[in-house]
Amino acid sequence: MSTSSITGDLDAWRALPALQQPDWDDPAEIRAVAAELAKQPPLVFAGECDQLRARLGEVARGESFVLQGGDCAETFEGSNADAVKNKLKTLLQMAVVLTYAASVPVVKIGRMAGQFAKPRSKPTEVRGGVELPAYRGDAVNGFDFTAGSRRNDPHRLLQAYHCSAVTLNLCRAFTKGGYADLRQVHAWNQDFVKTSPAGQRYEQLAGEIDRALSFMKACGANPDEFHGVEFYSSHEALLLEYERALTRIDHLSGQPYDVSAHFLWIGERTRQIDGAHVDFLSRIRNPIGVKLGPTTTADDALALMDKLNPEGDPGRLTFVTRMGAKKIRDALPPLIEKVTQEGSPVAWICDPMHGNTFEAPSGHKTRRFDDVLDEVAGFFEVHRSLGTHPGGIHIEFTGDDVTECVGGGHEIVEGDLHQRYETACDPRLNRGQSLDLAFMVAELYRKSA
Ligand code: PEP
Ligand code: CO
């Protein structure tokens, strides 16, 4: 594959340690799949990625707030119109709550249309004495616990590409075709309002928005300006064969863009400074993120910043911190202090999910809504005390009424988890919990602004 002299070698990662890559049985098969992927049309365009970079630059400057979210692991089965619509609807409702109640512009980024690969803490899984390879996401193998399903199959990468295309097409249609029109704020809530406290609270806010829109119309504003919203796609850039095959040189700028999504991030397990993931993402021009867990040192953060954003371009780099509710107030300040003193502008986002996972007595992996909220509160406290900008949240949620996280307005308890536990990986907030969170985050934002 060709490389560009401007960016250096887009294949340099191949000589570096690449963690969390599946073992493919047959090298010829994965090569053939990568060649096939390289012929596919782009899912996103360089100009869109640049636009998101500019938006994230506004976040780094303290002018707006990111709402990034979706499934922990998307599935091929879940790439259907209803599931995508429910997720988008929930994201739009959360964004409206944040925009209106916190009076801040919201950059909307789905963990959608490409989130099909998962890093795992153990390479195998044991059930009832049987040991099989761990599930690595639908892009790699199947969720069912059988030897056949757990075999790594490179053809799944092509299916991941096609499901991403279908999902992104739905997202584009929903967000540009009138469904996301602000005058539809009530419609997004229709199937929800009667049964849920969060839905009722939302309905009240939607009424206020209606009145505000009527007022603006009466003042001469053009209501068509509220017709669509900007929506961006993102996923963890984990499978480097896939990301490499979907990286193209943009004709206008001559720069490489990974056209599998607008925004790509490096996970907590693959952010080694001399590793393959950091090298590859340093060479593409998309806006990118890095997850930072509680063991990150201030020097680690600074080294990542130097390598991934040497030009200090605001909006190029986002740090997504995921410390855990108990640690954030101690672990975050040293990173922010050093990066602020010695680094360049960065957007700081809080992932209040991945530091707060535990196993319930029933064996379900779960999270407490109160821990999620407490980590966000800690994030706001730390940023406000240091004079930096709490730039957004990154969450795992679904638009369906699942029972995967405990707590929230509907008070899901540990004994309820089995009722609708449907995630292919980590536990997600359901629709009511997501809306509850949006109201609470808006309040935290307003109070600390
Ligand atoms: C994830 O986002 O699903 C994930 C695995 O996160 P992290 O890399 O922060 O552990
Ligand atoms: Co997850």
- pLDDT tens, 307-362? 999 999 999 999 999 999 999 999 999 999 999 999 899 999 999 999 999 999 99
End-to-end, the C-alpha distance of the chain in Å comes to: 49
228, 179 contact by CB (below 8 A): no
| Residue 412, SS3 per DSSP | strand
pLDDT, mean over the chain: 94
Q: Whose CA is nearest to atom 10 of ligand 1?
A: 268
User: How many CB atoms sit inside 10 A of residue 19's CB?
Assistant: 14
pLDDT at residue 185 is higher than 90: no
Does 306 have pLDDT greater than 60? Answer: yes
| 368 within 8 A of 356, measured Cβ to Cβ | yes
pLDDT at 447: 87
Q: Is 443 annotated as a binding residue?
A: no
Q: Of 75 and 101, which is predicted with more confidence?
A: 75
Q: Could you tell me which residues come within 8 angstroms of residue 282 by beta carbon, excluding any fewer than 6 positions away?
A: 307, 308
- The tokens for 379 are 């994030």
User: What's the pLDDT tens digit per position in 154-177?
Assistant: 999 999 999 999 999 999 999 988
Q: 410 with 369: CB under 8 angstroms?
A: no
Q: Which ligand is nearest to the CA of 405?
A: 2
> What is the structure's pLDDT at 193?
66
- CB of 180 within 8 A of CB of 92? yes
Mutate to test the pocket of ligand 1, among 20, 71, 72 (most ligand atoms within 8 A of CB): 72
- What pLDDT is recorded for position 391? 98
Q: Would you place residue 7 in the very low, low, confident or very high pLDDT band (cuts 50, 70, 90)?
A: low
**Mean pLDDT of all residues in 422-448:** 94
Residue 267 Cα to ligand 1 middle (Å) = 6
Span from the CA of 425 to the centroid of ligand 2 (angstroms): 7
CA of 270 to the centre of ligand 1 (A): 10
Tokens of 387: 């004079």
In the block, tokens 């600074």 appear at 302
Structural domains of the chain sorted by starting position, each given as residue range(s) with its CATH number in brackets: 3-180+228-448 (3.20.20.70)
Name the residue type at position 284.
I
7: tokens are 């960016």
Give the contacts of 380 (CB within 8 A, at least 6 positions apart). Answer: 390, 444, 445, 448
Mean pLDDT of 419-427: 96
Q: Looking at the CA of residue 293, tell me the nearest atom of ligand 1.
A: 9
pTM for this one?
0.96
Q: Is the pLDDT of residue 6 over 70?
A: no
Ligand 1 centroid – CA 289 distance (Å): 12
C-beta separation of 295 from 271 below 8 A = no
Q: Which of 189, 105, 198 is nearest to 435 (CA)?
A: 198
User: Ligand 1 within 6 A of 119 CB?
Assistant: yes
**pLDDT bucket at 11, cuts 50 / 70 / 90:** very high
109 CB within 6 A, ligand 1:
no
Nearest protein Cα to ligand 1, atom 3: 72
Using a 10 angstrom Cβ sphere, with 0-12 exposed, 13-18 middle and 19 or more buried, the burial of residue 240 is buried
420 has binding-site annotation: no
Q: What is the pLDDT of residue 1?
A: 40
Taking CA atoms only, the protein residue closest to ligand 1 atom 9 is: 268
Tokens of 255: 């720069």
Residues in Cβ contact with 226 at an 8 Å cutoff, skipping those fewer than 6 apart? 181, 182, 183, 213
- For residue range 202-233, list pLDDT tens digits in order: 999 999 998 998 998 899 988 888 888 999 99
pLDDT bracket for residue 56 (50, 70, 90): very high
Residue 67 pairs in a beta bridge with 108, 393
Element (H, E) at 262: none
Cα–ligand 1 centroid distance for 236 (angstroms): 8
Quote the pLDDT of residue 2: 42
Separation between Cα atoms, residue 90 and residue 436, nearest integer Å = 11
pLDDT at residue 5, rounded to an integer: 44
Ligand 1 pocket, 324 CB below 6 A?
A: no
Say if ligand 1 is within 6 A of residue 267 CB: yes
Per DSSP, the three-state class of 312 is coil
Nearest atom of ligand 1 to the alpha carbon of 115: 3
Say which amino acid occupies 427.
P
Is 156 close to ligand 1, i.e. is its CB under 6 Å away? no
Length of the chain: 449
118 assigned ligand-binding residue: no
Give the ligand with the smallest distance to the CA of 352.
1
Say if CB 315 and CB 60 are below 8 A apart: yes
Contact yes or no for 352/375 (Cβ under 8 A)? yes
Between 70-84, 184-198, 271-285, the lowest mean confidence (pLDDT) is in: 184-198
CA-to-CA distance for 204 and 443, rounded, in angstroms? 16
429 DSSP assignment: B
Contact between 135 and 118 (Cβ < 8 Å): yes
Amino acid at 41: P
At position 49, the amino acid (one-letter code) is C
Q: What percent of the chain has pLDDT over 70?
A: 98
